[in-house]
Structure 1
């Protein structure tokens, strides 16, 4: 077992975007980090930039659809350090398809990665820690789409609603043992996951969708992944020790805004 200098955090989908920002944040705060992703080439690039990579980090490549891989994440983390302090269920997969055009294969894969994996990875972490009379914080990544349906990402939207319910279940089940469970509900975030929207002619219209969302966001922009990472870290820290069974909106005010600022300016040009 490797000598440990600080707490341990597992981050799924850690190779890029929000996941990489989260893993970097925990690393910078002195955590040992388990970097989990299906794309090992990107993890290897990150590994080359980290000091004491082998001692303070664990890099695991695998498919979260594979239940045995979920168990291996926990087993290898515990074998290396004997503890897990934070589990961040961040990884996501989706196709921007309505229910009308969603295949059963894509539906099942979306559910496997976005809700089954967080549920069973949390289960396996809890089981391992309870044997040692330890606990951790579960941090689950939801989305504003759980409460603002688009109509064109049905399976993903369903999963994000389910992730919030899972969070409350984890808090109720494991809270008496000292576990906490929280979720984050980001709005628009500047990552590659938001750049693959195409119309029937194959034209990428992601910029138009982004402009529409930012035009309805009171702060007038998308979030930087680092802003999401800061919130994840704070919610998992001792400073948030009495926060559990809840979801934090981190959307620049989008969820609470009624209509676009273009319309507001037409109505009240001197006020907006």
Structure 2
């Protein structure tokens, strides 16, 4: 088990690739080079909002809206409390995020096995690219070897500079972002004092997204899945590994690491995800 607490984590300003202000607290990171590399973070949109053009990634993203409304196209919005699954290779945007929006974001390698380029790698490349070009409104503007002005999506420019190879996209498994309203799903019994709410299982590698609720005194035996299990504590208080933890805490359990007991000191709810099985 690994744990990351927002209260112990400094906010970091996202780099200049996009337009606007976005501060993040990175709770947990995966393993560089692994197809299941990931980043669990909390985002807060600052003054002036945050904008991106229409784009796509070669990795998956899961967003849970803690406060506010998250627009992911000109007309589509994730409401407060909703969850969005942004599959690899699927276009979304443009985004015009309002000031004060708070989200939990889990970025992870998709089912294709292309993996996920870590924040540290991306920010280092971001700084390098700013020496030879300019990021404006989510696009990278530069001059090629023949002196011709060029533009490309900012994330594509960073990936290609970091890896030395062309950014390739797997065939999209879905045609759009999958927006989910958890309130429309019913809780199901998950054991003594436990309730589960699975929102869905995605791709042939069984990415799973849902919620878990514990009554005071209930024990959840974590880490019993064939892939990495991620919990994000929404409220309450629990005891795990001899320590107590409160809201805005992230937990990682390795594949088949469990059973690892997580006991609710008071009623507690978690967002839960099980990453793709490779």
**Fold conserved (TM > 0.5)?**
no
TM bracket (short chain): under 0.3
Which structure's residues are more often helix, by fraction?
1
Could you tell me the TM-score, scaled by structure 1's length?
0.25
More strand by share: 2
